[in-house]
Every structure is written in C-alpha cells, then in structure tokens.
Amino acid sequence: MAKKGRILSGHRPTGQLHLGHLEGTLRTWAGLQDDYECFFEIADWHALTTDFEETEALRENIEQVAIDWLAAGLDPERSVLFVQSDVKEHAELHLLLSMVTPVSWLERCPTYKEQRDQIGEEKTAGYGFLGYPVLQAADIIIYKADTVPIGKDQLPHLELTREIVRRFNNFYGNVFPEPQAMFSEFALVPGTDGRKMSKSYGNTIDLADEPDEIEQKIRKMFTDPTKIYQGDAGHPDKCPVFVYHGIYNKARTEPIKAACESGDLGCVDCKAEVTEKLLAALAPVMARRRELEADRDLVRDVLDSGAEQARQVAAATMEDVRAAMKL
Ligand code: TRP
C-alpha cells in the first residue's frame, strides 16, 4: 500500500515518560504508523547538549523511553525505532550542515534564549548546545522525511531545518525535501498541580507508576481552590481534574460538569471516578510495560534492529550528500 509520506520524530531520553507524553505525543505517533513510513528516534546526543556532565543514567533512560514507546503502541514491525548515536551518519551530516548554517540563525533561535534563561549559562554555554537545531535538522533530513509530528515548542527548530534545507539545496542541488510540521490534535494533559505536566515541576503521572501511586497523586491533585467543601459550587473550567474527565471519561463530562457546578459532586468522589477510568485506560499500557521491564533483551533487540534499518537509509542519503558536495 502506498504511504502518504515519511515521518521522523524524536525525543530526548529523559527517563520514564508521563501521561503528557502518552496523550500528547505517543498516541498520535502510534496512529500514524499505517499511513506513513515512520522513523522514531531516541535523541541521546541531544540530551548531551545540556546534560553532558552526568551520563551514568543515560543508557537506562534510553531503555526506559524505549519501553514506554513500545508499551504505548509504537510497533517495530511497522516503524523504525532507534537510538540516534547508533547511526553515526547523523554526526557526519550535522558537521556538513554546520558549514552552511550561519551562527546568527542559531543565536536568534527562541529556544536557545529561553533555555539559557531557564536552565542557566553553565549547561547551555557549549558549542553543541548552540548547534542543537543543526543536529535536529540532520536527524530529520537524513531520512528525507517530509512530515514531522512535533509540539508547538519545537516549531522554531523545524523552521530552522527548512531554512538549512533551502540553503543546502541552493548550493549543491536538490538533495532534501523541505519537511512540514504536523501538530497533534490531542489534549494537553495538565500536571497534578494544574501547570503543564513536566518532570521538572514534579507534577507528573508516569506510565511506570503503580495504580496505587496514581490514585494517591490524583487524590492530592490541585482542584478549583474556591471549592473547599462538598456543597460548594465548583468551576470545572478551572480544574485540571475536569480536563482528565475530558480525556478518560468523555461520556460523563456533561453530568460531571453540572454536578460540580451545583455543588452536588464533591472533589473526592469526582477524583475517584476519574481515577477508575484513567486506570482502566492505562491498564494495557501498564501490563505491556511490565512485560518489557522483564525482557530487556527484547527491548535492546528492537533498538538494534531499528538502528540497522535506519543506518541503511541514512547511509544512502550520505552518498547523495557527498556526491552533491563533490566530496
Ligand atoms: N528536540 C526534540 C525535543 O526536545 C527532540 C528531537 C531530536 C526531535 N531530534 C528530533 C524531534 C527530530 C523531532 C525531529 O523534543
């Protein structure tokens, strides 16, 4: 069957993934596997651009991401799942692209400035970090991917990729397609404190959490601060628990909303109901996760064979690149 195009997307090996990743990213990726040729990359070199000092956890973090991906339905029979550093061709292309990428483009990149403010000078002063988007461009175009499913936060990197492609093609001929962003239609899952779910905020529900941990996290979850006692009128539109109902308890959002607003439904019962639904939705993912935890050889085999498949495509592109550049 003819595919609609080729996808590459990736994630840094941040360790265990959470509900935000599952609902915002992984379900989208899993749903694309029949229609597109898919490459999904664990970007360990990208992790090093800021976390170059402590690397002890890197290998385990890579495997944890792989386990979460497989548990969430990324399927090695249909997609290529691989680790960036297993495909050295990315490094060669990164080097060559760095020749045609003006430093001013990189210094102007909004994520560069944001990250420097957020995580500080010490971790972001490196040459590698400045070149983060160049490496990301190499990741994408080495597979001649035309479609890149990403979050809005990654858009500046994709724009840079497109600019680099135009410049490269302009110098050396039409080697690379200009990739397009694809945005997920899935809901943003708020963290247990109502902010964006993020490991750095300590407000995540992880795919590796046990059901009783999840129950506890939801029991303590932030709700509408003006609803203190059962009987008080709530404001579901300001309550992150209500967002969870919207994702895991869709059929009941209207009655839940009405009962919260009238004060008939207290937060304890509301949370208990959504916890049950959430755990039911997560059960197959958690079960698969447990199997994979117990079979690390399988996980490593998936990544090894993914690297082999990725390498073939990447190596063929590098032949084109060297020929175009007369190397
Ligand atoms: N920068 C991405 C992130 O932090 C990870 C990434 C690396 C990526 N290479 C990529 C995403 C290529 C899309 C395409 O989430």
| Whether the predicted pLDDT of 311 surpasses 80 | yes
At 211-260, the pLDDT tens digits run: 999 999 999 999 999 998 889 999 999 999 999 999 999 999 999 999 99
Which residue, by CA, sits nearest to atom 6 of ligand 1?
10
Centroid of ligand 1 to alpha carbon of 11 (angstroms): 5
- CA 264 / ligand 1 centre spacing (Å): 45
Q: Is the CB of 94 under 6 A from ligand 1?
A: no
Ligand 1 centroid vs 26 CA: distance in angstroms?
14
CA atoms within 13 A on the CB side of 61: 17
Mean pLDDT rounded to a whole number for the chain: 96
Kindly report the pTM of this predicted structure. 0.95
Question: What ligand 1 atom has the least distance to the C-alpha of 135?
Answer: 9
Q: Mutation test of ligand 1: which of 46, 143, 159, 182 has the most ligand atoms closer than 8 Å to its C-beta? A: 46
For every residue of 300-326, DSSP letters joined together read HHHHHHHHHHHHHHHHHHHHHHHHHTT
Q: Which amino acid residue places its CA nearest to atom 11 of ligand 1?
A: 10
For residue 4, the 8-state DSSP code is: S
Strands 79-83 and 180-182: what pairing? unpaired
DSSP 226-258: T--SBTBPP-GGG-HHHHHHHHH-GGGHHHHHH
Q: How far apart are CA 292 and CA 167, in angstroms?
A: 44
Of the pLDDT bands very low, low, confident and very high (cuts 50, 70, 90), residue 1 is low
Token representation of residue 72: 């969430």
Query: Mean of the pLDDT values across residues 140-145?
Result: 98
Listing from the earlier edge strand, what are the strands of the sheet with 180-182?
A: 79-83, 36-42, 5-11, 147-149, 180-182
Mean pLDDT for 8-29 is 94
Rounded Cα gap, residues 202 and 68, in angstroms:
19
Give the pLDDT confidence score for residue 293 in this predicted structure: 96
Cα distances (Å, whole numbers) of residue 268 to 197, 280, 282: 22, 19, 21
Going along the chain from its start, the domains and CATH numbers come out as 6-189+296-325 (3.40.50.620), 209-289 (1.10.240.10)
In the DSSP assignment, the letter for residue 81 is E
Of ligand 1's listed atoms, the one at least distance from the Cα of 136 is: 9
The predicted model gives 163-192 an average pLDDT of 93
